[in-house]
């Protein structure tokens, strides 16, 4: 590979890292439907922004977990019906949003949004450190695998030799 090509590869790699580190903006078309799939498919990072895009009669109410599960809008953390409504997720954790109009919430117009801690896509329970012991464990496993290959090869050769007689 030429020095120029190497430099280009390095640049592309740097750009990818920068892209990963940058905050993302998500838009949710907030309407009467079920959002269970959205929260499962989108794990946010700290700094990401979610904008709910909607009009009347919908609202975006941020609720406690208990109120979210019960579709109870008596004590919202915040409420807005002026759409669009944007939220910046400035720390790890899960926040709960639902529409207060009619029975929209109980029909599925609710979403729990989880923010990972930034070291992984999925949250605080699997940060980088556990990867190190795995890496060390790979060496003995590699040795075992190599031994197994040699054993199989040896048996194969033995079989061929036996078959020749």
Q: Interface residues for Cu ion in 36-65 (CB under 5 A)?
A: 58
Residue 108 beta carbon to Cu ion: minimum distance, rounded to whole angstroms? 10
Nearest C-alpha neighbor of 101 from the set 129, 127, 80: 80
H, E, C per residue of 86-152:
EEECCCCEEEEEECCCCCCCCCCCEEEEEECCCCCCCCCCCCCCCHHHHHHHHHHHHHHHHHHHHHH
Residue 1 beta carbon to Cu ion: minimum distance, rounded to whole angstroms? 55
Residue 109 beta carbon to Cu ion: minimum distance, rounded to whole angstroms? 5
Beta bridge partners of 95: 113
Nearest to Cu ion of 81, 126 (CB atom): 81
Provide the mask over 91-110, with x wherever binding to Cu ion is found by CB under 5 A and - wherever it is not: --------x-x--x----x-
Residue identified by tokens 């709960």 is: 96
Provide the mask over 109-128, with x wherever binding to Cu ion is found by CB under 5 A and - wherever it is not: x-------------------
Residue 21 beta carbon to Cu ion: minimum distance, rounded to whole angstroms? 35
Nearest to Cu ion of 49, 101 (CB atom): 101
Nearest to Cu ion of 54, 89 (CB atom): 54
Residue 31 beta carbon to Cu ion: minimum distance, rounded to whole angstroms? 7
Sequence length of the chain is 165
Report how far residue 58's alpha carbon sits from residue 17's, in angstroms, rounded to the nearest whole number: 38
**Contact assessment for residue 32 and residue 107, using Cβ atoms and an 8 Å cutoff:** yes
Nearest to Cu ion of 16, 106 (CB atom): 106
Where along the sequence are the contacts to Cu ion (CB under 5 A)? Answer: 58, 99, 101, 104, 109
């Amino acid at each position: 590979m030429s020095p120029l090509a190497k430099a280009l590869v390095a640049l592309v790699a740097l750009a990818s890292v920068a892209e990963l580190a940058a905050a993302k903006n998500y838009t949710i078309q907030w309407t009467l439907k079920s959002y269970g799939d959205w929260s499962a498919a989108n794990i946010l990072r700290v700094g990401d922004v979610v904008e709910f895009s909607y009009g009347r009669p919908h609202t975006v109410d941020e609720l406690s977990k208990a109120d979210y599960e019960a579709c109870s809008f008596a004590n919202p953390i915040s409420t807005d019906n002026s759409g669009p409504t944007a939220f910046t997720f400035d720390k790890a954790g899960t926040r709960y949003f639902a529409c207060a109009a009619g029975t929209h919430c109980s029909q599925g117009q609710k979403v729990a949004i989880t923010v990972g801690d930034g070291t992984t896509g999925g949250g605080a329970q699997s940060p980088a450190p556990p990867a190190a012991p795995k890496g060390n464990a790979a060496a003995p496993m590699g040795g075992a695998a190599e031994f197994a290959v040699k054993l199989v090869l040896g048996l194969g050769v033995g079989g061929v030799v036996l078959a020749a007689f």
